[in-house]
Structure 1
Amino acid sequence: MFERPQERRSHLRFDKVFTVYLSTNDGMMRGVGRNISARGMFVEVRDAVGLGEKLKVTFAGEDGTEMTCLCEVRYQVALAFGRKDGREGSSRGVGLRIVAYETHDDAPLLLVDRERVMH
């Protein structure tokens, strides 16, 4: 049989589905965050986002707290598939590298270690 590839990621990943809000140069959009780590995340989005683009991702907790991070688009994924009912379906997402975290609106960004991480 096939051997399972060795995991190369060094950071613990949190595999949960959660709503995020992305602020881009073109405006704001809602996304579905998945598979987040200390250095990056995957977000399902409706519209394409350019490779290398910098954007802000805001997480909103159920208690009203928010956290925002500055991210860079590292890769894009587009998937087309057939549904059981015969119609076409599709999904799109982006892999993001977290560059910095906002601590307060009036404070500078808290930079993340500049180690090169591929997501």
Structure 2
Amino acid sequence: SFCPYCHRAESELKKNNIDFIKLDLDLRKENDGSAIQASLLELTGQRTVPNVFANGHHIGGCDDTLAALSNGMLVKLLKGEPGKFAEDQESAESSARETPTPIREARM
């Protein structure tokens, strides 16, 4: 991706030894980046990238991801520990089932 915010989020995740799956909308052979971005907007209300998820929970963009790293929430989510993102587990699971596969599998 050519997005500096994507690069920053990716760099911080790597620096913290967090494994992730990256879906680069600009480089997809299927040329469906616009459709995926439209689905993400509908699902999350966020138009910008990166659009980060952890264990089916939407984290947000770069600033949200860095904040979740800083306050420990991202690690808790990845470990499956309860927190503010886990309060509505049933709703998150329902949304994940309805989300197109490429988005469901993407972590960043």
Q: TM-score range by the shorter chain?
A: under 0.3
Q: Which has the higher strand share?
A: 1
Give the structure with the higher percent helix: 2
**So what's the TM-score if we normalise by structure 2?**
0.25
When Rg is computed on C-alpha atoms for both structures, the one with the higher figure is 1
- Answer 1 or 2: higher relative contact order, Cα 8 Å, separation at least 6: 2
